[in-house]
Amino acid sequence: MTTSVTLTGTGVPHPSPGRAGAGVLVRCGDIALQFDAGRGTVLRLAEAGCAPHQLDAAFLTHVHSDHVADLADVALTRWVQQTLHPAGPLTIVAPEGESATFARRMLDPYDHDIAVRMAHVQPSPPEVDVRAFPVPVTPEAVWRSADGAVVVEAVAVHHEPVAEAVAYRVTTPDGVVVVSGDTRVCAEVEDLARGADLLVHEACRTTVMAELIAGTPFERIFDYHADTVALGGLAERAGVPHVVLTHLIPPPASSDDERAFADDVRAGGYTGAIAVGADLDTFTVGA
């Protein structure tokens, strides 16, 4: 068997052609897990051959709009699709606090649409099964497949001032995948990535652009994202063989721009394989 990892979005809040909002799809056999759901996620899922009704669970790393803008669409599309594909409530696994609250409230503005559709076609309202977990300072399991073969753990990361932000580690029979969410380069992700086969990490060219952004609002934005050079050191220390960069800041506009992200990570001391992510890039773990 193989486990596949598909980037459903490599973009950031500032829109960039071809880059949907943050999201990573991990599939192992029939199991499909979506991590974050930024703008365009439903389209990217369809392009990846995984419609919302096929998801076993969606996981939130934190509430910034670029990570959750399409979550309601995932839930509503799954609901509308139930006329053809009965799937039950969408399970949403989220840190307690802002993320879980967002997931519980996100369908409220659609009350009228839901009522109209129910009067017309749908026999029952859309349902989300929000499973909130206290943000753990050391990794804790937050989801397991029915047979226990796939386990997802979470750990707190550093995206302050966002109060609750986590990274996830997915263990399947094929190997281990870590998804950083948004965070500064931190020891928690380094520990989480130790022994992993694939690290999907957000990337921000802080070191290289420090002079350029000094005194601008971007200085504060870059401060809570992962410096590509420091990330190279983290990945090397963690001994992870393959790093996939996503949530690219600034969005690359050319192949030279993309190569620069990889060069930063290399300059930070990383000797493994580097992929600068594009939407729908798919990586496999296992045989």
The set of catalytic residues is: 66
Does the footprint of Zn ion cover residue 153 (CB under 5 A)?
Answer: no
Paired sense of beta strands 198-204 and 175-179, if any: parallel
Distance of CA 57 to the CA centre of its chain: 13
Does the footprint of Zn ion cover residue 39 (CB under 5 A)?
Answer: no
Q: How far is the CB of 163 from Zn ion (least distance, A)?
A: 12
**Identity of the residue, 64 or 242, whose beta carbon is nearer to Zn ion in the bound complex:** 64
**Identity of the residue, 36 or 197, whose beta carbon is nearer to Zn ion in the bound complex:** 36
Angle in degrees, 0-180, between the axes of helices 255-267 and 228-238, rounded to the nearest 10 = 50
Angle in degrees, 0-180, between the axes of helices 206-213 and 228-238, rounded to the nearest 10 = 160
**Identity of the residue, 41 or 171, whose beta carbon is nearer to Zn ion in the bound complex:** 41
Distance CA 203, CA 277 (A): 10
Question: In Å, what is the CA distance from 102 to each residue of 5, 105, 160, 187, 191?
Answer: 26, 5, 18, 28, 29
Residues 198-237 that bind Zn ion (CB under 5 A): none
- The binding track of 164-183 with respect to Zn ion, each residue x by CB under 5 A or -, is ------------------x-
Q: Which stretch binds Zn ion (CB under 5 A): 62-70, 72-80, 107-115, 146-154?
A: 62-70
Does the footprint of Zn ion cover residue 66 (CB under 5 A)?
Answer: yes
Joined together, the tokens standing for residue 57 give 């669970």
Question: In Å, what is the CA distance from 50 to each residue of 22, 25, 95, 136?
Answer: 16, 9, 25, 30
Does the footprint of Zn ion cover residue 64 (CB under 5 A)?
Answer: yes
* Nearest 10 degrees: Cα torsion 58, 64, 68, 70: -160
Size of the site for Zn ion (CB under 5 A): 3
Does the footprint of Zn ion cover residue 70 (CB under 5 A)?
Answer: no
Does the footprint of Zn ion cover residue 98 (CB under 5 A)?
Answer: no
Q: How far is the CB of 12 from Zn ion (least distance, A)?
A: 6
**Identity of the residue, 56 or 188, whose beta carbon is nearer to Zn ion in the bound complex:** 188
Interface ranges with Zn ion (CB under 5 A): 64, 66, 182
